Structure 1
Amino acid sequence: MNTLTIPEIFSNFSYYQENYLTILKKPQQYHIEVAQAYLHVWPLSEKKLYLGDLLQLWFSEKWLINSACQLLLTTEAQSSKKQIHKTQDLYLFQLTGSTFSGANHSKVWSVSEQKELHVSLDSVFKYLCYFESIERPAFNQQDDQKTFKKVI
């Protein structure tokens, strides 16, 4: 199975917008892995995010960052935070933090800058709940392998 990257998704974003509903219905397309896309929220275990997960969360605007967040800037000498607010521009794809403290180090894709940014969001729990609320089609990797073998 192929693995996509976030830059690849955004370079073909119009395709994903047009084919969104088809991707959600087909388990083999829904469960395409996306590199560096996961959530790891303490005390829960790490969960991979798949293409269908991200598309649902982004297009429902649940993981489209519309509130102010802090840009995390790291240099060799120091770390600093800068308040930013970009409307309809930041797409969350990696959430790491704690449900209790709310502290997090998350990654977003900035459409205007065409690059990945490291940010701290207002609430980890909110984004975790959004993730848990989406529906996913069942996916049996063995069935997928059988289909692949028949094609060969």
Structure 2
Amino acid sequence: MKNPNSDFQSLLWANQGERPSLPRQLFKKGKFRMKVAITVWDEKISPVFDSAHKLLIADIKNEKIKKMSYQSFNPQFEARLTEDLSHFGIEVLICGAISEIHSTLIEACAIKLIPFIGGNVNQVLEAYAKGNPLGPSFLMPGCREDDSMV
């Protein structure tokens, strides 16, 4: 029996697969720079974007985290959300579960969205900064290929 999550998993890996290939080349040339935001709850990725209230914003240069800051935000004000993310210069947003309306708004702003990620914020950020795909160990429960539907 085919795992119902396999289509989702393929889509997730396809989206993440685009990111590391080009930056790996740029890392070698010393020219890679990116601004990444992660929704935060305590020291973990906020499990639901729609109810998150804090972003960790990190400047990454050549596989190193150069600067980190925290910013309050309210995703319930959709018009303000896109303005804020653009104002902060966010290029990539890593989060837990997210509603369709928010994901559509974020992607419409040309921000790369990596949803359904969970775990320790620092470990996720460090892995992403080094150009590693956020694999199964960082996926939220129910989103892993080996999770079975009951």
The TM-score by the shorter chain falls in which range? under 0.3
The structure whose RCO (Cα within 8 Å, separation 6+) is larger is 2
Higher strand share: 1
TM-score, normalised to structure 1, is: 0.27
Higher helix share: 2
